Amino acid sequence: MVYPGKPKSLSTNLCFLFLLLSTNLLTFFLSSTLYASCSLRVRVPTSSSSDTVAPKTNATDATSVQDYSLSELISQPTSKPDEFLSFLSGQSLPLGFNTNFGSNTIYSAVGRACTLFSDELRQYMSYKVNGSCPDDELLSQKLLLRGCEPLPRRRCRPAASPQYTEPYPLPTSLWRTPPDSSVVWTAYACKNYTCLINRKRKQKGFDDCKDCFDLEGRERTRWTSNRSEDGLDFAIDEVLAARKPGTIRIGLDIGGGVATFAVRMMERNITIVTTSMNLNGPFNTFIASRGVIPLYVSISQRLPFFDSTLDIVHSMHLLSNWIPRTMLHFLMYDIYRVLRPGGLFWLDHFFCAGEQLEEIYAPLIGSVGFNKLKWVVGRKLDRGPELREMYLSALLEKPLNNSSFLAQFFSPTKIGKMRNDIALFMQLDSKSLYDAWERYKDLLRRCPDHGFPKWLQVQIFYNELISPIRTTIDFATKRALMAESIDKPYDLLEEMASNNYQWLFEISVLKRVVGIHEMDAINALTAQVAALAKKFDTLMVHSI
């Protein structure tokens, strides 16, 4: 028994010390074992396939691809060039916190896929700061096409022609081959424009847009008329006729070769930006030399335009079945995004295997929500009929209304009834053209998602007018109304209805003015006849 005040024995103190050390060691061991799973890890897939298309994607699936955070990239200085890390690191804003950024730090943009190609990235970012950049166009384009987009910026001066020549002035530059001295030819098999022009006749094998640089060849007649018997070649003026004159002003041509489409539109006072890569030819330099705007981006890049801003988007040959389906679906929605309501998407010679059009690509395009103004399918025979390839040329319209938003307020049953009211419209016998037109437009306004194209709206209204009104319209237009182009009949009806209303208004004003003098039309006419008779009698008396 230990009494108070009596000192403890040495064995007791050693026992307490042993217990204390044991419990501390046990606690440390358990904490390091049980909570090891809380540490941060990078998840890297064991296998992947670029051709696999997942029908659905969620947040969990998104983390299954190789992903590195900014801190992880910067924490691996041995694997990344110093210039890349300098570019990637966050930079403090000189004026401190910025409410627009919501931060006091700004980060430079770079494609996530850049980190997947360490050797190419190291080579691209190895240069002398404030000096000359290496002549590495092939390397930079390879990184772009692999998804390293946008490329990191560099602090060096790009290669340039030592004997650069000023471009030709407009409009000469539009249809004249630029001087060879405007190009750095290192990256291309041809070393001058003469070689590029002649390669369609001399070079065997495939090259992208092999005959594009010959401005006196097929480029001279592109989009000037509907040349093909199968109807696949739309003319520019035919497409522009789908909208009121002057309302197609700005647009984009995706994969536009040497920008002949942009040149044709420029001749019609329409500004087109052309995306193009330099696939064994100086396409971007050539485009700029012609006096139109090149945009050096691949199809992987989000279109650098704000929502609902462009009047027209065009693409010829580029958008086809070589693009992975999921990527193509994203791209179609991106085109829909940048088009304004009522804007046009001209899908020019999209090609695929015959069965793919109905089974895959027509449903894919239809799922985006475009209205079909023209849809022409024809056979693609340049590589042989045994491949059973097909062309699709289509003129699509972004609807004026957002169907997904309207679906919240208009049930299918309600929309069906309103569509039926439009289709069964009839002019009442006692109503004027103006009254009938306003009532018909009111039916259209009540059902924003009716889906009737403008030509069909006019046809429904015209067919249900009473015979005298229809005859008057035909006489006023010098021919049958439905023989006009797409927009003209609608505008003519609007003008005639307005004139009809104005005429009725003037008649009613005239009647009110007569009423002020308490004299109706018959009395006024009688008085005028009597006055004339009196004057006639006076003349007869004087003559006698």
Indicate whether 398 pLDDT > 80. Answer: yes
pLDDT digits (tens, 9 = 90+) for 280-302: 999 999 999 999 999 999 999 99
Q: How many other C-beta atoms lie within 10 A of the C-beta of residue 66? A: 14
Q: Give the CA-trace dihedral at 434, 437, 438, 442, to 10 degrees.
A: 170
Q: Tell which CATH classification among 2.130.10.30, 3.40.50.150, 3.90.550.10, 3.30.110.30 matches the domain 172-400.
A: 3.40.50.150
Residue found by looking up tokens 């259209």 in the block: 444
Query: What's the distance, CA 298 to chain centroid?
Result: 14
Most confident by average pLDDT, 127-136, 440-449, 462-471: 127-136
Residue found by looking up tokens 């570019």 in the block: 87
pLDDT digits (tens, 9 = 90+) for 344-368: 999 999 999 888 999 999 999 999 9
Residue found by looking up tokens 């606690």 in the block: 27
Give how far Cα 36 sits from Cα of 23, 31, 75, 195, 204, Å.
20, 8, 21, 65, 62
0.85 surpassed by pTM:
no
The residues near 87 (Cβ < 8 Å, ≥ 6 apart) are: 108, 110, 125, 152, 153
Indicate whether 62 pLDDT > 50. Answer: no
pLDDT digits (tens, 9 = 90+) for 163-221: 898 999 999 999 999 999 999 999 999 999 999 999 888 877 666 788 899 999 999 99
Q: What is the pLDDT of residue 470?
A: 76
Confidence of residue 380 (pLDDT cuts 50, 70, 90): confident
Confidence of residue 442 (pLDDT cuts 50, 70, 90): confident
Question: Measured in Å, how far apart are the chain's first and last C-alpha atoms?
Answer: 171
Confidence of residue 1 (pLDDT cuts 50, 70, 90): very low
Kindly report the CA angle at 178 between 173 and 184, in degrees rounded to 5? 140
Q: How many other C-beta atoms lie within 10 A of the C-beta of residue 517? A: 9
The more confident residue out of 239 and 513 is 239
% of residues, the chain, pLDDT over 90: 47
Beta strands 371-380; 389-397: pairing state: antiparallel
The more confident residue out of 257 and 493 is 257
pLDDT digits (tens, 9 = 90+) for 261-279: 999 999 999 999 999 999 9
Q: Where are the domains of the chain?
A: 66-145, 172-400, 406-504
Q: Are 409 and 375 in contact (CB under 8 A)?
A: no
Indicate whether 134 pLDDT > 90. Answer: yes
% of residues, the chain, pLDDT over 70: 71
Mean of pLDDT over the chain: 80
- Longest CA–CA separation in the chain, Å: 171
The more confident residue out of 388 and 520 is 388
Q: What is the pLDDT of residue 65?
A: 39
The more confident residue out of 251 and 470 is 251
Arithmetic mean of pLDDT, 236-251:
95
| Ramachandran assignment for 171, one of left (phi > 0), alpha (psi -120 to 50 degrees), beta (any other) | alpha
